[in-house]
Structure 1
Amino acid sequence: MMDSTFTDFSHKVYKTPLMQQMIQVADGLRHNGGTQGEKQTALYKVAYFILQNPWLSPTLNIERLAEGACTSTAAVNRLANHMGFNGFTGLREALVQHLLALVSPADQIHSELAHHPERGFGLSQQVRLSNGNLEALLNANDDEHFDAIVKAVSQANHLYILGFGNCHFLAGLAASCLVPHCAHVVTLNMEGGSENAAYRLATISQGDTLLTLALPPYTRDTLRMAQYARRRGAAVMAITDSPASPMVDIADHCLFAPPAHPVLRNSKVALLAIIEALASAVRLRNLEPVNESIRLAEDALQYLQRTGSDPHD
């Protein structure tokens, strides 16, 4: 008899509730097979085959599954009923759902839209997609690189924030989040064109930091300006989509913001989360500049209130 105890169950494919149940059932059948006869042995063969082929099994019909397990279709149905499913149909549906749970939310939703285009795209799908990208963000980054970028941003003599293409508005958002907490912030985006942005970047030097936002499709100007800043001795930090990004070869440190979206060109949720995290970390790191900024803002507000009370003042 085959022994499932030699299978490596540490892979994430075995962490779903269905596979955990299948492992327990196979273990019980393996120990009871010798005392309860050939029927239990046949059920064990089906369970063992599914465990050995977790990606293939959901795609097989009952005949192919029985053939692969070297047993009968009746044994497949008995295993399904033994596990609490309504025959093979219920088991196969559970196997398909198990497989979908391992696929990225973007792929799941893309499949749903392809099979049921009449249902359209809803808020619940966007939330699922955003949760998936945020979970991928956590898996793709570590505290070491995050802390390094926080340090480079907070200690920069001048902080330049670069974002072209579909990162144009996010560069402005990042600047607005970081202006109160950094000494001097310069936004480099498409306002005024790339030539104007290059002109503002011309004086970057050692002691300054360039924070680059780059999602596909990457713009040539973004890469060239990042290379220029590096040649000038500035620290170059990047928030980009993945280790395959060309920014990885240019930047000193990178954070990755997975942008998967089945409808739009990119999802910006993960990138926005990183921007807010950086702003929060820099704010706590630079408490004195924060307090000074608050004081100046309060002074400005009081001035406006005073002058606003008398139009002739």
Structure 2
Amino acid sequence: MALGYAGYPALRRELRALASPPDAGGEGENAMQRALRAETRHLERMADELGELSAVERAAGLLAGSRPLPVLGLRAAGALAGYFGYFAAKVLPDVRVFDGGGTALLDRLDQVVAAGATSMLAIVLPRYPREALEVIREARRLGLALVVITDSAVSPAAEAADVVLPAPVGTQLVFDLHTGPMAMAMVLLQAVCDAAPEPVQRRLEEFEATAARRHIFEA
């Protein structure tokens, strides 16, 4: 505000406009089309960067062995943490999603450490909730290895991470598009499955048998 901006969002919009390449969309496209084409370019860049899988594989190795596995995502990242946790629970025996803040959050962190957790996945998206950053720092103090999915390698959430998996967010609509972080979360879960294929296959077969017995799905 001292620089003349209405607040952090206004400053961020101007910085992103300066750093972003011109839109490659067709002439006369509307704002929604341009936003989705920008997401396509984000995914293409992420795909190019995944030509070197060392970071994803290292992250998967850390997470696959943690019992339980805590997954942190507050505010905008809460839905994505739940999405990852839903599918991860099909292949891992104890996944605990931390998607609500408050004073009890650090208590839950103490509980997973006491139960044997060795690593944590944190999904932290702009505008970087202060509480999420505090939990990350406390997890580090408690000795947990940290895998962080965030929008940039220079995100404040990256400072304490063992492995950072950058996934850009779309910023051309009123609210950010999280296509990139969601794709990265599923790529990471695939790598977790690849790290221990036999137990994963066994748990998936057990789930399918249970689902059939309980008639959970129509198809």
Q: What's 1:280 paired with? A: 190
CA RMSD between the two structures: 2.5
Q: Distance in 1 between matches of 2:214 and 2:53?
A: 42
**1:148 Cα deviation after fit:** 0.8
Q: What's 1:174 paired with? A: 84
Would you say how many aligned residue pairs link Structure 1 and Structure 2? 193
1:128 matches 2:37: yes
> Relative to 1, partners in 2 of residues 1:264 and 1:150: Cα closer, same or farther, differing over 3 Å?
farther
3-state SS in 2 of match to 1:255: strand
**1:302 Cα deviation after fit:** 4.4
Q: What's 1:159 paired with? A: 69
**1:181 Cα deviation after fit:** 1.9
Q: What's 1:19 paired with? A: none
Pick from 96, 100, 108: which aligns with 2:23? Answer: 108
Q: Distance in 1 between matches of 2:20 and 2:41?
A: 7
**1:138 Cα deviation after fit:** 4.2
TM-score for the superposition, normalised by structure 2: 0.77
**1:182 Cα deviation after fit:** 1.9
Which ranges in structure 2 are unaligned for 5 or more consecutive residues?
A: 1-18
> Map of 1:53-202 to 2, 5 A cutoff?
104=20, 108=23, 120-122=30-32, 124-138=33-47, 142-190=52-100, 193-202=101-110
**1:129 Cα deviation after fit:** 1.3
Q: What's 2:124 paired with? A: 214
Pick from 208, 212, 232: which aligns with 2:142? Answer: 232
Q: What's 2:14 paired with? A: none
Structure number with larger C-alpha Rg: 1
Q: Distance in 2 between matches of 1:132 and 1:223?
A: 29
Q: Distance in 2 between matches of 1:286 and 1:197?
A: 30
Q: Could you list the runs of 4 or more consecutive aligned residues of structure 1 that deviate by over 6 angstroms after TM superposition?
A: none
Q: Distance in 1 between matches of 2:84 and 2:212?
A: 27
Q: Distance in 2 between matches of 1:262 and 1:281?
A: 31
Q: 1:54-107 deviations in whole A, cap 9, x for unaligned?
A: xxxxxxxxxxxxxxxxxxxxxxxxxxxxxxxxxxxxxxxxxxxxxxxxx846x5
Asked whether the 8 Å contact 2:23–2:34 carries over to 1, the reply is no
Q: What's 2:15 paired with? A: none
Q: Which amino acid aligns with 2:169?
A: P
Q: Distance in 2 between matches of 1:139 and 1:301?
A: 37
**1:207 Cα deviation after fit:** 5.0
**1:195 Cα deviation after fit:** 2.8
Q: Distance in 2 between matches of 1:229 and 1:300?
A: 35
Q: Distance in 1 between matches of 2:127 and 2:112?
A: 26
3-state SS in 1 of match to 2:127: coil
